[in-house]
Amino acid sequence: MQYRKMGVRIPWEASALGFGCMRFPTKKILGFIKKVDEAEAIRILRYAIDNGVNYVDTAYGYHGGKSEVIVGKALQGGYRQKVHLVTKLPMWKVKVASDVEKFCREQLKKLQTDHLDVYLFHGLNKGRFQLVKELGLVFEMEKLKQMGLIEHFGFSFHDNFQVFKEIVDYHDWEACQIQWNYLDQDTQATTNGLEYAAGKGVAVVIMEPLKGGRLANPTAEVKAIFDNAPVQRTPVDWALQFVWNRPEVSLLLSGMSAFAQVKQNLEHASSSGAGKLSAGELDVLKQVSDVFRKAILIPCTACEYCMPCPSGVAIPRNFAILNSYSTHEDLKRAKKEYAKLAKSKDALNAAKDNGMAALCSKCMKCLEKCPQAIDIPGTLEKVNAVLGGTVPIEQAFPKED
Ligand code: SF4
Ligand code: SF4
């Protein structure tokens, strides 16, 4: 395992690969309800730690609140002492300043620990940053430090560069967590944001290095580019090495959900390093991102922040099917997948949160929740027009250029 500096204010080094605990392995109960496979989750997390991963990232809301509990169990038996444990304050639940200590104590209990190594404001954007300022929440974080409940604090982020810069300039942060990968260089915090935060000594942790798994599944065109590259790697390795290549990056988080994935990522991490990719290799990724950009019509990362939907619409699944059609051009298969989703409220009773786009009632409850700023109801309408109707994809999703 490679270890990397955590900016200038955190004294320890983090493993290049961090374990993101939002996509633990799941199993089906009664044939359709997906639950976390706790034993397997604990096994793969401990395996990663045994093989050098020392950074474990969870959050209040992951797996409907279960992630922190499972992480707490996994870190028993001496594992807690081997890792830097990170979780996040659920900003959408914070109403008064004292909520910071209240949630922190609740999370410590779930995690079965007496302190957090890093505590992050979860998902800061323009609105949530306003709340941080209005309620003086940085001061509340400082109080947690004095009480010995946390060692360091920072924020995770979903918005644009202007907002990111404003937040970075607000405080001498110890860490931040941003979405960055070879397709997101100009979106979210952007490469400028990565450089800006690192330049101010903030440890930069990267999430979504595979853009919600999208970069792991190349189209035929992308595959051909990789096949002709001067170096042979899997699409996952290409994407991860791109992130590790930047010296500004402290570590990347992978939401690992299978043992094989953990093993592969450990191997990728062991060969990682800043400045390792040649100009030719970076050019390969430039070509690949041009192809992906044209094909991925909906920038959904399957984070599930928009879920559950009161009408039972399986929002990320609907978007994944449409994207799969736009990248692989197999309309018949996409329509078949779409038809498997629940078509009516009655069907939803047997398959919760498995509804097709057509069931969206436009209640607008999901709108504020999407970190990718997707117009969810409007996009679902287009998905249904293409996959449930006869509207051509080019008409529903016209190309910008
Ligand atoms: S707008 Fe549609 S998709 Fe969003 S929460 Fe309401 S019903 Fe669900
Ligand atoms: S629509 Fe937005 S909030 Fe919902 S899963 Fe996709 S990226 Fe996440």
Cα(366) to centroid of ligand 1, in Å?
A: 6
Which residue's CA is the nearest one to ligand 2's atom 7? 300
Of 288, 306, 327, which residue constitutes the final position of a domain? 288
Q: What tens digit of pLDDT does each residue of 25-75 get?
A: 988 776 666 788 999 999 999 999 999 999 999 999 999 899 999 999 999
- Give the ligand at the shortest distance from the Cα of 378: 1
Judgement on whether residues 249 and 359 belong to the same structural domain of the protein: no
Residues 99 and 203 in one domain: yes
State whether 334 and 197 are in the same domain. Answer: no
The pLDDT value given to residue 32: 62
Q: 212 lies in a domain?
A: yes
Evaluate whether residue 310 is within a structural domain: no
Mean pLDDT value of segment 93-119: 97
pTM of the shown model: 0.82
| Residue 11 tokens, joined | 């004294």
Could you report the per-residue pLDDT of 174-203, keeping only the tens digit for each? 999 999 999 888 888 999 999 999 999 999
List, in order, residues 6 or more apart from 390 with CB less than 8 Å away.
Answer: none
Stretch 146-150: mean pLDDT: 98
**Nearest ligand, CA 179:** 2
Answer yes or no: do 140 and 42 share one domain.
yes
Domain count for the chain, please give it: 2
d(CA 36, CA 44): 13
Residues 6+ apart with CB under 8 A from 372: 158, 299, 300, 301
Closest residue CA from atom 8 of ligand 2: 303
> Would you say residue 249 lies in a domain?
yes
Q: Indicate whether 328 and 279 sit together in one domain.
A: no
Residue 307 lies in a domain: no
Q: How far is CA 184 from CA 128, 178, 242, 246, 286, in A?
A: 22, 10, 12, 14, 12
Domain-terminating residue out of 273, 288, 303: 288
**Res. 400: pLDDT tops 90:** no
Q: How far apart are CA 88 and CA 94, in angstroms?
A: 12
Would you state the pLDDT for residue 205? Answer: 98
Q: Nearest Cα to 167, choosing from 205, 209, 132, 218? A: 132
- Whether 216 and 325 share a structural domain: no
Q: Is 119's pLDDT higher than 70?
A: yes
Q: Which residues neighbour 359 within 8 Å (Cβ) at sequence distance 6 or greater?
A: 311, 312, 313, 342, 343, 344, 345, 348
Q: Are residues 235 and 275 in the same domain?
A: yes
Please say if the pLDDT value at position 353 is more than 80: no
Atom 4, ligand 1: residue with shortest CA distance: 366
Which residue is closest in CA terms to ligand 1's atom 2? 360
Residue 198 lies in a domain: yes
Does residue 35 fall inside a structural domain?
yes
Q: In terms of domains, do 264 and 133 share one? A: yes
Backbone phi, psi, residue 273, to 5° = 175, 150
Residue 57 sits in the same domain as residue 148: yes
Q: Is 22 contained in some domain? A: yes
The structure tokens listed for 5 are 């500096």
The CATH number of whichever domain residue 194 belongs to comes to 3.20.20.100
Any domain includes 296: no
pLDDT band at 238 (very low <50, low <70, confident <90, very high): very high
For residues 191 and 322, state if they share a domain: no
Does residue 163 share a domain with residue 38?
Answer: yes
- 199 and 332 in a single domain? The answer is no
Residue span of the structural domain in which 220 resides: 3-288
Check pocket membership of 345 for ligand 1, CB cut-off 6 A. no
